[in-house]
A and B are shown apart, each in its own frame.
Chain A
Amino acid sequence: MSKKVNFVIDGKECQSEEGLYLVEAAKENGVYIPTLCNYEGLKPKGSCRICSVKIDGRLTTACTSPVQDGMKIENNTDELNEVRKEIIELLFVSGNHFCPACEKSGNCELQALAYRFKMMAPRFPFAFPRKEVDASYPMIIKEQNRCILCKRCIRGIKDEDGKRYFAYRNRGQDSLVVPDRKMMAEMSPEKAQEAMDICPVGSILVREIGWIEPIGTRKYDKAPIGSDIENNQ
Chain B
Amino acid sequence: MSKPVIATTSLAGCFGCHMSLLDIDERILPLIELVEFNKSPIDDIKTFTKQCDIGLIEGGCSNSENVHVLKDFRKHCNILVSVGECAIMGGLPAMRNGIPIKECLREAYLTGPSTTANTSHIIPNDPELPMMLDKVYPCQEIVKIDYYLPGCPPRADLIWETLLSLITGKPAELPYDVIKFD
The answer to the question of B180 belonging to the interface, with a C-beta cut-off of 8 Å to chain A, is: yes
Contact partners of B148 in chain A: CB under 8 A: 120-121
Task: Please measure, in the bound complex, the distance between the C-alpha atom of A105 and the C-alpha atom of B91, giving whole angstroms.
Answer: 14
A92, A97, A115: residue with the most chain B Cβ atoms closer than 10 Å: A115
Among B19-27, B32-40, B82-90, the one that faces the other chain is B82-90
Q: Do A130 and B91 touch (CB < 8 A)?
A: no
User: Does B150 belong to the interface (CB within 8 Å)?
Assistant: yes
**Residues of chain B from 161 to 181 with CB closer than 8 A to chain A in the complex:** 176-177, 179-181
Residue contact B82 to A130, C-beta cutoff 8 Å: no
User: Nearest Cβ in chain A — how far from B84, in angstroms?
Assistant: 9
**What is the predominant secondary structure among interface residues of chain A facing chain B?**
loop
Contact pick for A100, options B99, B138, B140, B181, CB 8 Å: B181
Measured as residues with beta carbon below 8 angstroms from the partner, the interface class of chain B is 20 to 34
Q: Which of B80-112 contact A (CB under 8 A)?
A: 82, 85, 88-92, 94-95, 97-99
Q: Which residues of B contact A114 (CB under 8 A)?
A: 181
User: Given B85, B98, B179, which contacts A130 in the complex, CB threshold below 8 Å?
Assistant: B98
Chain A interface (Cβ < 8 Å from any Cβ of B): 92, 96-102, 105-106, 111, 114-115, 118, 120-122, 125-126, 128-131, 215, 221-224
What are the residues of chain B within 8 A of A115 when measuring CB–CB? 176, 179-180
**Contact B177 A222, beta carbon cutoff 8 Å:** yes
Question: CA–CA, A102 to B140, complex, Å?
Answer: 23
A-B contact pairs, 29 of them (CB 8 A): A92-B89, A96-B95, A96-B98, A98-B85, A98-B89, A98-B95, A99-B152, A99-B181, A99-B182, A100-B85, A100-B92, A100-B181, A115-B176, A115-B179, A120-B147, A120-B148, A120-B179, A121-B82, A121-B89, A121-B148, A121-B150, A126-B90, A128-B97, A130-B98, A130-B99, A215-B182, A221-B180, A223-B176, A224-B176
